[in-house]
Amino acid sequence: MFGAMQGGALGPRRHRVAPGSRRYRARVVVVGNEKGGAGKSTLAALIAISMLYRGQRVSVIDLDLRQQSLSRLLANRRRWLPAAGVKAPSPLEYKLVEDPARIADDQPLALRLFEEAMVMAMGDSDLIVIDTPGSDTAVSRAAHLQADLIVTPMNDSFVDFDVLGNVDPVTLRLVQASHYAETVLNVRTMRAHNNRRLDWVVLRNRLAGADTNNRERVGLALDSLSEELGFRIGPPLRERVAYREMFPFGLTLADVSAGLRPNKVSSPKLAAREEVNALLEALGLIVLAPRPAPVLRPVEHAAFAASL
């Protein structure tokens, strides 16, 4: 009925925590936004696979029971890696059932299976990444309740802004929090009762090169909402073909950055890798080595000293 998948087969349940040993809790990252097409699945895959390359034991759960985009990407990965004869790390995937679409309308059952999956994933992982659907479902709400970190990507548009709240077009202040924002705020309150923190990071996705006026206004509105709703603003991801062209291979930018690149895929710009690293750091998942201080030539050095 339920199991962990890796390498294409329903695998045995793995228990890495020895009986009687002190259990630790895996960190839970939920990628959520009730707006469709914001980049949740793309980001969930990117986070999960990036962290595998950094040596973490990562499990994923795809709660978009109908679309299963993350699950389909991983199925492509399980097919392509052996076919191409390359080795790369894959997350342990917990599927609620073999065909999750079948239980999408049976939320009580999905809820029960999700809770079982979480118990098992906790013993198996350092990090659990959960992708959620672009709509409010009972199982998605349950996942948000388990989150240590909620990551909300949004398109750089006032249309997508409604997922956070309705803003006054002149003052850009919050008029009314959205249904999704209320859900996250409730989760935060419930966790606070149990002395557990919740970090909520909102970031703009698919940032276009032009469009500076809109970008500036969305940025200002986001700053204002961040204060009112208590989320942090993560560094944006630009619109890049590198985020979408590797789905059929089951790969992400993290694989290409690690040197795994199918022939047909172009090499992503260094800026794309830096963008991903900046995001992982902002999410508190990695710590980047400090950049070396710039070497100043004498004339610059004099100008710098004079400016102090």
Binding site for Mg ion (CB under 5 A): 40-41, 69
**Binders of ligand ATP: how many residues, by CB under 6 A?**
18
Residue 42 contacts which entry, ligand ATP, Mg ion, none (Cβ below 5-8 A, type-dependent): ligand ATP
Q: Left if phi > 0, otherwise alpha if psi is -120 to 50, otherwise beta: which for 88?
A: beta
Residue 142 has which token pair? 């349950």
In angstroms, the CA 160 to CA 134 distance is: 12
279 Cα distance to chain centroid: 10
Residue 270 has which token pair? 């260094």
Residues 66-105 that bind ligand ATP (CB under 6 A): 67, 69
In angstroms, the CA 77 to CA 63 distance is: 19
Member of 49, 88, 187, 237 binding ligand ATP (CB under 6 A): 237
Member of 4, 29, 30, 42 binding ligand ATP (CB under 6 A): 42
Member of 3, 8, 123, 134 binding ligand ATP (CB under 6 A): 134
Contact 57, 125 (CB under 8 A): yes
Member of 162, 206, 246, 275 binding ligand ATP (CB under 6 A): 206
> What is each CA distance from 88 to 7, 25, 37, 286, in whole angstroms?
11, 26, 28, 20
Residue 206 contacts which entry, Mg ion, ligand ATP, none (Cβ below 5-8 A, type-dependent): ligand ATP
In angstroms, the CA 105 to CA 269 distance is: 42
Q: Does 144 bind ligand ATP (CB under 6 A)?
A: no
The single-letter code of the amino acid at 277 is: N
**Radius of gyration for the alpha carbons in the chain, expressed in angstroms and rounded:** 21
Residue 239 contacts which entry, ligand ATP, Mg ion, none (Cβ below 5-8 A, type-dependent): ligand ATP
Residue 205 contacts which entry, ligand ATP, Mg ion, none (Cβ below 5-8 A, type-dependent): ligand ATP
188 Cα distance to chain centroid: 18
Residue 244 contacts which entry, Mg ion, ligand ATP, none (Cβ below 5-8 A, type-dependent): ligand ATP
For Mg ion, the nearest residue by Cβ is 41
Residue 73 has which token pair? 């990407």
* Nearer to ligand ATP (CB atom), residue 2 or residue 247: 247
Contact 130, 60 (CB under 8 A): yes
* Nearer to Mg ion (CB atom), residue 56 or residue 69: 69
Per-residue DSSP letter, 274: H
In angstroms, the CA 252 to CA 90 distance is: 11
Member of 244, 266, 301, 303 binding ligand ATP (CB under 6 A): 244
The residue range among 40-48, 160-168, 172-180, 269-277 that interacts with ligand ATP, by the rule CB under 6 A, is 40-48
Distance in Å, CB of 240 to ligand ATP, minimum: 5
Burial class (CB within 10 angstroms; exposed 0-12, middle 13-18, buried 19+) of 41: buried
* Nearer to Mg ion (CB atom), residue 172 or residue 279: 279
Q: Residue 207: phi, psi to the nearest 5?
A: -65, 130
* Nearer to ligand ATP (CB atom), residue 89 or residue 268: 268
* Nearer to ligand ATP (CB atom), residue 124 or residue 161: 161
* Nearer to ligand ATP (CB atom), residue 148 or residue 160: 160
- Please give the residue ranges that form the binding site for ligand ATP (CB under 6 A): 36-42, 64, 67, 69, 134, 205-206, 237, 239-240, 243-244
